[in-house]
Amino acid sequence: VETAYGKIGVGICYDLRFAEMAMIYAKRGAQMIVYPGAFNMVTGPVHWQLLQQARAVDNQVFIASCSPARDEEASYTAWGHSQVIGPFAEVVASADHKPGIVYADIDLKQVAERRANMPLTQQKRPDLYDLQDCRNFVGFKI
- For position 48, which CATH number holds? 3.60.110.10
**Residue 56, domain extent:** 8-136
Residue closest to 142 by CA, chosen among 16, 24, 7, 17: 24
Q: Is residue 142 part of a domain?
A: no
Q: Is residue 72 part of a domain?
A: yes
Q: Is residue 119 part of a domain?
A: yes
5-58 tens-digit pLDDT: 999 999 999 999 999 999 999 999 999 999 999 999 999 999 999 999 999 999
Looking at the 3D structure of the chain, how many domains does it have? 1
* CA-to-CA separations, 44 to 68, 79, 119, 133, 139, in angstroms, rounded: 12, 5, 31, 30, 40
Going by C-beta distance under 8 Å and a sequence separation of 6 or more, which residues neighbour residue 89? 53, 54, 56, 57
Q: Is residue 2 part of a domain?
A: no
Q: Is residue 1 part of a domain?
A: no
Please state the pTM of the whole predicted model.
Answer: 0.90
